[in-house]
Structures are given as C-alpha cells and as structure tokens.
Amino acid sequence: MKFCERPFNSIYLPPSGEVWPCAWMHFVMGSLNDQDLDEIWNSDAAKAARETILDGSFAFCRKTSCQFIERGTLPDLSEEEIKERAVAAESPELITVANDKICNIACTTCRTSLFCPEEGYREKLDVMLERLLPVLNRAKHVDLNGYGEFLANPSFVKLLERLRPEREDFQITFETNGILFDEEHWAKFSHLQDYYLNVVVTINSLRRETYQYLTGGFDKLEQALNNLKFLSRLRRENKINWLMVTMVVQDSNFWEIPEYVRTFAHSEDYEADQIILKPVYNWYGMKHDTYWFKNILNPLHPYHKAYLRILEDDCWKEPKVLNWGCHNIREARLHPLSHEQINNQLLLKIYENDKGMSPEDYLGAAVKRVCGSRIGVYGEDEFSQAMLRLLQKTDVELAFRLTRFKDEEGEIPTISLQNLRPEMADAILMLDSYDQAHWTDNLRNRKFQGPIVNLEELLNEDKENKQ
C-alpha cells in the first residue's frame, strides 16, 4: 500500500495561521492564532489527517501538485512497514513556514497585485514568529518562505539572526526569487552555513520581457541573475550545500525550457545542482480563465501541440532536471467561457420554462425530484450566487454551502470538505460545475454516497422522464 510520512513528521504554515500537514494536503489541523503547536500536533484533527494516509484514501491530498503523487515516488509498503513508520514524531521535524504574503514582486501564478499589508499585519506576524522560534530551533528541517519572499520582510532576517538550531543535522531551505539574495543580506544569516543549506531560486524566464511579464511588471531579471552568480559562488565554496533553480512551466515560457536547462546545468556562472521544472498549478485565487490560458498541459490549449514537441527535447534527459509532472498531461477542458454559454441556456430554461411555472417553483420541483428535499450546494461564482438566491425562495432545505476551508455559521452555513459528514444532505447540487470532477472525487473520498449533480443534469428533460 502507498504511504506518505509527511502527516507524521511535517507541518505547513500558510498565512491564515492555520496548520496543515503539508503544502498539498489541505486539511486544517488547528490554528496558531489560538492554539499552541504541541496541542495542534497531538490533536484529534492531526490524527484524522494521518488516518487518511493509513486508510489509503489520501482524501485531502491534491493529486495534481503533490510532488510525490505527480512523480509517482510514494513508497509501496507492506502493512508491517507502515505500522513501523506510521508513528507521529514527538514534534514536527519538517516545518514549512509559508505564513507571510509580503513579496517584492507579484508573480502572475501567485497573485494579481503586490501585497500591501494592512495595519497590524506585521505586528501579528512578529508575534507568531516569536512563538515559532523555539519550535524551529527544535526542528530537523525548516523551509521558508513558501509563500512570499523572506528577504522582503526584515522580520524573517531577524528570525534567522536569532535561529539557534539544536540538532547538528539541521537543514534549512530558502525559497527565494533571488532578487534580494545578495552579499549584504547573506552576511546577516551566514552563521547558518554551519548547517546544511539548500537554496531554491524561482526564475520563470531568462528573457527580459517574459520575466517582467511573469513577475507582474518587475524588470529585475538582471539583478536576480547577478545574485544567482553570487549563490553559485557560495555553492562552489561549500557555504551553501545545494542550489536549485525552478521554473513554473506555463504558456509564456515553455518554449525556453531547453535553453533554461542548458544554462543552469552547465554555465560556469550560474551552475545549479538541480533544475526543477514544475507545471503551473491552480492555487486558490487564480481565476478559471487565467489558469486555462497558462495551463498548456490541457490538450485543448492552442499551444499544447507545441508543448508536446518541447516534451520530446533531449533536455529532459539531463540528470540535473527534476521533472515535477510536466509530462502528466491533464484533463481536456474547454475554455471557461463555454460554461457561460451553458449558464445562459440554464437561465432561459428556468425563467422561460415550458410549464409556465415561476422560476423558483420550477427550480424547486426539479431539485426535489432529482436530489431530495435537503441538499448541500457548491458554487462561488456570480451565477452560483444568483442560483442560490433563487433556491432560497423555494421550500428546499439548503443544509450547507460547501467550501474548501472555512466553516461558518450563517443563514446557510458553510461546511469545509474536511468537516463534511455524509448524512448532512441527501444530495450535492453543483451550481458551478467547472470543477465538478475534482469535487466529486473529493466528496466520494469523504464517503458521500448521495447524488452529486449539476444544474444542467438537473434540468435535463431525459433525466426528468427517467425519474
């Protein structure tokens, strides 16, 4: 059976203050805003997260984006071996700090504008970092900052100045865009060279215009490359132990992959130990259409055929390349606008229905016929909001709105996938069906057995006649 040890030895700290088992397993074990880490690490929620590995469901693991699932490197273990390894560490050994959004650029895969901290943001973060310091000192491996740029926030430099790891085999990984990783900054935390240091520099293009476009307008390629020269020198002098460069592969840079690999594998100036090529992932917040244009792994993307030709290039055989799923072609998906057309047709069907009923009576009757009288709904876009308002006028019981994370009270409570219990609703109605396959997969993993239908299916005459 497949096994992953992350929930047993690691934590990921996103900006919300929540604690997850890893960056790709969206399961809230607790919150540092009102709990201490020991309590979270030993909580029932942490045990529940581990259970999803032990029962083989990997129910909250993002199958696209987890590097072990994408690359097929999860070990296949016997029951005995799993028993031996499935023991939670006394406290987390690998800590990925990703709790700060401050960054000096605005990569289009990460955000839509430069993050401007609101009043009190920095103070709150400082309190959290202060509480984290002893935990980081005890860890075996710290990774930072997995969200913003650690060198753009002096709090992280101060944290590093005060970091005093207790373990001799301590490792630290710096994730950076390289723009500020110069001699002056390095001097502030170079005492850490006594430990094992990894540096990962994200540079998404070697062409000035593309780099500028992908970083949200920042003309900083030269600066980043100069610092990469400096890092390469530190690597040769063994002051850092492993130097990686990363490209997030997408529509505007995939053409450069062979040149990118040649540059970083063999150049005297910029030689790296590893070149990570990872396809763009739809992290939360990226709009459907933005992602669609970036995702050249979609067979329906206009550049997909050109991308397939790049995938045949010999550069992928370079031993330094770590291919993070670039050859895993994704599901064929039409542009999201096609859903707008469907939505328009659905609106017409509801509002000009051939039964002469009011829209709410027509919709309510269809829901009760196909789904039952107590439903959960999913949908966050404007169309979903409009449908939800209409549903509220019917006599269908709206038990909850399904969300990725937050559970909140309200006229219609929101329930996160993690806290969903199968008996909470007779059926789930997908008001926004764009990600239906993904949600269906997740809901079945949560043992939800009832129908999961979208509006198109609901209003389908054939379906109606079959009932």
Q: Where does this chain bind ligand SF4 (CB under 6 A)? A: 4, 6-7, 21-22, 24-25, 58, 61-62, 66, 68-69
**C-alpha to C-alpha distance for 182 and 138, rounded to whole angstroms:** 28
Beta bridge partners of 2: 76
- Residue appearing with tokens 């609106």: 347
Q: Shortest Cβ distance from residue 254 to ligand SF4 (Å)?
A: 25
Q: Shortest Cβ distance from residue 52 to ligand SF4 (Å)?
A: 8
Q: Shortest Cβ distance from residue 21 to ligand SF4 (Å)?
A: 5
Q: Shortest Cβ distance from residue 7 to ligand SF4 (Å)?
A: 5
Task: Kindly tell me which of 369 and 444 has the beta carbon lying closer to ligand SF4.
Answer: 444
Q: Shortest Cβ distance from residue 264 to ligand SF4 (Å)?
A: 26
Residue type for position 31? S
**C-alpha to C-alpha distance for 449 and 426, rounded to whole angstroms:** 9
Strand 242-249 vs strand 196-202: parallel, antiparallel, or unpaired? parallel
Q: Token pair for residue 249?
A: 């592969």
Task: Kindly tell me which of 83 and 229 has the beta carbon lying closer to ligand SF4.
Answer: 83
Whole-angstrom CA distances from 460 to 135, 383, 389, 430, 465 are: 56, 18, 21, 14, 9
Q: Shortest Cβ distance from residue 108 to ligand SF4 (Å)?
A: 24
Task: Kindly tell me which of 368 and 404 has the beta carbon lying closer to ligand SF4.
Answer: 404
- Residue appearing with tokens 């859903």: 339
Task: Kindly tell me which of 81 and 222 has the beta carbon lying closer to ligand SF4.
Answer: 81
Q: Shortest Cβ distance from residue 200 to ligand SF4 (Å)?
A: 17
Whole-angstrom CA distances from 165 to 22, 57, 88, 362 are: 22, 36, 21, 65
Task: Kindly tell me which of 82 and 365 has the beta carbon lying closer to ligand SF4.
Answer: 82
Task: Kindly tell me which of 66 and 224 has the beta carbon lying closer to ligand SF4.
Answer: 66
**List of residues 6+ apart from 1 with CB closer than 8 A:** 56, 76, 77, 78, 79, 82
Task: Kindly tell me which of 1 and 365 has the beta carbon lying closer to ligand SF4.
Answer: 1
Q: Shortest Cβ distance from residue 26 to ligand SF4 (Å)?
A: 9
Q: Token pair for residue 375?
A: 């439903």
Judged on CB neighbours under 10 Å (0-12, 13-18, 19+), 303 is middle
Task: Kindly tell me which of 171 and 205 has the beta carbon lying closer to ligand SF4.
Answer: 171
DSSP string, 221-280: HHHHHHHHHHHHHHHHTTSSSEEEEEEEE-TTTGGGHHHHHHHHHH-TTT--SEEEEEE-
Task: Kindly tell me which of 24 and 270 has the beta carbon lying closer to ligand SF4.
Answer: 24
Contact 53, 3 (CB under 8 A): yes
Task: Compute the C-alpha angle 425/349/385, nearest 5°.
Answer: 50
Contact 408, 420 (CB under 8 A): no
**C-alpha to C-alpha distance for 443 and 423, rounded to whole angstroms:** 12
Task: Kindly tell me which of 52 and 145 has the beta carbon lying closer to ligand SF4.
Answer: 52
| Residue 232 φ then ψ, to 5° | -65, -35
Q: Shortest Cβ distance from residue 132 to ligand SF4 (Å)?
A: 21
Q: Shortest Cβ distance from residue 287 to ligand SF4 (Å)?
A: 24
